[in-house]
Amino acid sequence: MMFKDFFGTEPSVRASAPGRVNLLGEHTDYNGGFVLPTPLPYQTHLEAAPAEGLEVYAENFGERKSRGLDEPKQGDWLDYLAGCVWVLRQHGYPVAGLRAYVWSEVPMSGGLSSSAALEVATLRALRELYQLPLDDVQIALLAQQAEVEYVGVRCGIMDQMASSVGRLGYGLFLDTQNLATRLAPLPEGYRVAVVDSRVPRRLAESGYNTRRSECEQACALLGVRSLRELSPADLPRINALPEPLNRRARHVVTENQRVLDGVQALEQGDIRRFGELMVASHVSLREDYQVSIPELDLLVEAALRHGAVGARLTGAGFGGSTVALVEASRYEDFQKGVLQDYPRAGFL
């Protein structure tokens, strides 16, 4: 079933946007730091037409929902589309509403930015429907604003930028402070393996907002506006902070350095070094940022045991997925081995 089958008319526009997996740079984006995501070959799709208010069918949920533009958010999936209409109207764009049919190949609650893919796809559809003068960076910024101010998840800009301006086959090095980007080629002969733990997470209900507040507290005590202003040379000051603020700041500062080192490793073709940085990132996320869970730790250990050169959790943590870098020729054996150690694992 598609838009015409459901609504009885042809859609005016079609739009899509990919999910993403983050190779390095976790929980650094909302701290003004560096990130290295790459878009996935899995898309969220919209077929849409203009409307008064919102009328949306989501194939993945098997649900049809409607809402007037003046009605409050409901805490459901429609909030993400409503937030996109809301943010455009906040900026003065003459958007009356949206009728849409939505389906997605991006796993939900897996840490692969299904929400950002939905937001970017929705804004792309609205851009075309209403002939809005928006470039891809502006789309990403509006998508982030919708999620932060309307949905209520205090996310950084990484997910939306990866979905809106990323390129398949490349890591997107992004300076979240000034939105400068650079493409770093992923190694030939290797696969980026995304493994779902099957433990769902919901950002607004997790410790995500708590971690962000802890970083802000650390900044206040250190007398800086952002942890981006600090470097590994500042670790003695950071280590002197009270628990757990010292751990939170230490992760962000060292993770920023890992991204810089990782981009250099990719550009030099040093895959082993890149893999070491992925593992170090996971250890930091587990020990200092404390966002891993036993299932994610097991998946990382299994990935390394069965041939991955590097592996780590990806996304905010508290469930979701891991990412590993595996030689393409060894991928089938890698997959079998991980499934033996963690039978619930899901592979994209």
- Positions annotated as catalytic residues are 159
Helix H, strand E, coil C: the string for the chain is CCHHHHHCCCCCEEEEEEEEEEEECCCCHHHCCEEEEEEEEEEEEEEEECCCEEEEEECCCCEEEEECCCCCCCCCCHHHHHHHHHHHHHCCCCCCEEEEEEEECCCCCCCCCHHHHHHHHHHHHHHHHCCCCCCHHHHHHHHHHHHHHHHCCCCCCHHHHHHHHCCCCEEEEEECCCCEEEEEECCCCEEEEEEECCCCCCHHHCCHHHHHHHHHHHHHHHCCCCHHHCCHHHHHHHHCCCCCHHHHHHHHHHHHHHHHHHHHHHHHCCHHHHHHHHHHHHHHHHHCCCCCCHHHHHHHHHHHHCCCCEEEEECCCCCCEEEEEEEHHHHHHHHHHHHHHCCCCEEC
User: Which pair of tokens denotes residue 114?
Assistant: 């299904």
Are 16 and 121 spatial neighbours (Cβ–Cβ below 8 Å)?
yes
